[in-house]
């Protein structure tokens, strides 16, 4: 992978990994669902065991009451067969009407058993449990009262008498069984709601993971686009300007009275500087001009080179106590100055240019004024083969830092360009050089009219 791709990939990782959610992260609530499901199964097994025990007790007491064994076996098998068949059928088809019909059939079988022997009233407890689970509360209460009436009346019908125990005991048992059944039903409903809620949460989590993947992808693409825009601006402001200057110097060297040796030296210097800029763009490092020096010093060297190569009188006016800027802000101002001075060199036809670097309170302002031929800013809205990209690139770079660019120009009246970037939170001061004229310029020289 080449250095430029490594730089872009690193930025994509920095931007994308901040929002990445692990795809194997899962809700830890499935154990609770299994716990509730296990509890419900335990209640069902317990209910079935109670029914089998009650059938056994009723059958044994019926035998002791004189009921023939074939009758006892038949009643027990029919009751248990209907009970088990209903459970199995309910697991497959379900439905409240089918369950209610099954319970009514089981109740009728029980009534037949009680008609044979009052000892089968023991099975009423199983019916009360089922009534509370299968029927709505109102109908469960009605059926439970009817069953209780049969339980109380059975001893009277068979033996002609009863006791308070035969009334109070079944009454308490019926209420208790109905309460257990309703509690069991609430457990089932709660488990279903938990299962539905957890399924919804898992689906939401998966959707969020997909959205975050999409956000990470979008941010990676945005980072790549920003990197491309940065590289294109840097190439325009550095390598392209160096190539333009080299071309101008090469043409000047072909003139009869040209100093070819001096032109070749200048071309060599520009080529070396362009190569250094290209390498630093690829490696995403600071500009060569800012390598270990202050912004004012870098601007001064640029003006010296401009004056030396073109004869334009160039001056730098810089406040002596400038706020400290971040590297991005210094790079933005430096690139703005480079692009503007390249335009002065190539297009303005100016004799003088003044660069001012000043503290504007909440921002650092860079002004570049020349006395050249000027232009109509409205004609540079769209870049073309002949230029126009520079102003757009300057504005885009400065806006990324919260700054801006203002251009005032008119044909024949020169050009004034003003860039500003906001000052960060740091308030450290650094000496940035005072008024520093370039060769060929007069100290204190102001903007050209």
Do the beta carbons of residue 316 and residue 357 sit within 8 Å? yes
Q: Determine the Cα–Cα distance for residues 174 and 126; give it in Å rounded to an integer.
A: 9
Whole-number Å distance between alpha carbons of 244 and 171: 106
Q: How far apart are CA 119 and CA 111, in angstroms?
A: 12
Is residue 406 a contact partner of residue 445, using CB atoms and an 8 Å limit? Answer: no
**Does residue 64 sit within a domain?**
yes
Segment among 14-18, 108-112, 138-142 with least mean pLDDT = 14-18
- Mean pLDDT in the chain? 72
Other beta carbons within 10 angstroms of residue 271's beta carbon come to 14
Residue 369 domain flag: yes
8 A C-beta contact, residue 448 and residue 368: no
More confident residue, 433 or 391: 391
Could you read off the pLDDT of 357-399 as tens digits, one per residue?
A: 888 888 889 999 888 888 777 766 555 444 556 777 778 888 8
Of 204, 222, 244, which marks where a domain is finished?
204
Could you give the CA distance from residue 404 to residue 44 in angstroms, rounded to a whole number? Answer: 75
Mean pLDDT for 315-334 is 81
Pair 117, 155: CB distance under 8 Å: no
- Say which residue the tokens 């076996």 belong to: 73
> Cβ-count burial of 9 within 10 angstroms (0-12 exposed, 13-18 middle, 19+ buried)?
middle
| pLDDT per residue as tens digits for the range 152-174 | 777 667 666 666 556 666 666 66
- DSSP per residue, 297-309: HHHHHHHHHHHHH
Helices (H), 283-326: 295-310
Q: What is the rounded CA–CA span in Å between residue 84 and residue 181?
A: 18
CA 87 to chain centre: 48
Is 3 inside a domain boundary? no
63 shares a domain with 180: yes
Q: Confirm whether 282 is domain-assigned.
A: no
Q: What is the pLDDT of residues 272-300, one digit of tens each?
A: 777 777 766 665 545 555 554 577 888 88
Same domain, 309 and 166: no
- Same structural domain for residues 446 and 307? yes
CATH number at residue 335: 3.30.565.10
Whether the CB-CB separation of 428 and 324 falls below 8 Å is answered with yes
Residue 394 is part of which domain span? 289-449
Which among 204, 239, 262 is the end of a domain? 204
How far is it, in rounded angstroms, from Cα 309 to Cα 345? 9
State which of 147, 176, 204 marks the end of a domain.
Answer: 204
Whether 254 maps to a domain, the answer reads: no
Mean pLDDT of 235-239: 72
Whole-structure pTM value: 0.38
- The Cα 279–Cα 4 span in angstroms is 10
Asked if residue 34 is part of any domain, the answer here is yes
Structure confidence at residue 367 (pLDDT): 92
Neighbouring-strand partners of residue 408: 416
b/e for 120-147, b at 16 or more Cβ within 10 A? bbbbbbbbbbbbbbbbeeeebeebbeeb
Q: Is residue 137 part of a domain?
A: yes
Say how far apart CA 109 and CA 198 lie, in whole Å. 42
């Amino acid at each position: 992978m080449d250095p430029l791709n490594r730089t872009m990939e690193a930025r994509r990782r920095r931007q994308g990994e901040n929002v990445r959610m692990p795809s194997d992260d899962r809700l830890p609530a499935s154990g609770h669902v299994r716990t509730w499901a296990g509890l419900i199964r335990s209640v069902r097994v317990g209910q079935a065991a109670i029914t089998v025990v009650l059938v056994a007790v009723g059958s044994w007491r019926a035998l002791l009451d004189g009921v023939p064994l074939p009758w006892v076996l038949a009643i027990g098998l029919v009751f248990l067969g209907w009970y088990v068949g209903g459970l199995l059928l309910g697991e497959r088809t379900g439905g409240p009407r089918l369950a209610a019909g099954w319970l009514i059939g089981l109740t009728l079988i029980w009534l037949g058993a009680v008609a044979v022997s009052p000892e089968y009233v023991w099975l009423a407890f199983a019916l009360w449990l089922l009534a509370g689970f299968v029927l709505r509360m109102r109908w469960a209460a009605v059926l439970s009262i009817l069953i209780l009436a049969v339980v109380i009346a059975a001893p009277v019908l068979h033996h002609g008498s009863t006791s308070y125990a035969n009334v109070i005991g079944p009454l308490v048992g019926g209420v208790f069984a109905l309460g257990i059944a309703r509690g069991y039903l609430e457990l089932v409903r709660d488990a279903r709601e938990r299962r539905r809620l957890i399924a919804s949460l898992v689906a939401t989590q998966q959707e969020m993971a997909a959205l975050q993947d999409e956000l990470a992808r979008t941010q990676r693409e945005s980072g790549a686009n920003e990197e491309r825009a940065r590289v294109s601006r840097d190439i325009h402001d550095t390598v392209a300007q160096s190539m333009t200057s080299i071309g101008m110097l090469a043409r000047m060297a072909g003139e009869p009275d040209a100093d070819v040796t001096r032109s070749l030296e200048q071309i060599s210097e520009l080529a070396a500087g362009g190569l250094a800029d290209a390498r630093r763009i690829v490696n995403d490092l600071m500009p060569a001009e800012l390598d270990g020096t202050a912004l004012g010093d870098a601007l001064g060297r640029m003006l010296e080179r401009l004056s030396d190569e073109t004869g334009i009188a160039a001056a730098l006016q810089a406040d002596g106590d400038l706020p400290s800027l971040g590297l991005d802000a210094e790079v933005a101002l430096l690139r703005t100055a480079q692009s503007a001075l390249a335009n002065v060199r190539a297009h303005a036809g100016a004799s003088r240019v003044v660069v001012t670097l000043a503290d504007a309170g909440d921002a650092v302002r860079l002004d570049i004024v020349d006395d050249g031929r000027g232009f109509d800013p409205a004609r540079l809205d769209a870049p073309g083969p002949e230029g126009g990209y520079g102003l757009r690139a300057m504005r885009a770079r400065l806006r990324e830092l919260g700054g801006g660019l203002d251009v005032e120009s008119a044909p024949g009246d020169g050009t004034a360009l003003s860039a500003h970037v906001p000052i960060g939170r740091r308030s450290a001061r650094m000496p940035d050089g005072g008024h520093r004229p370039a060769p060929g310029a007069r100290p204190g020289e102001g903007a050209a009219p």
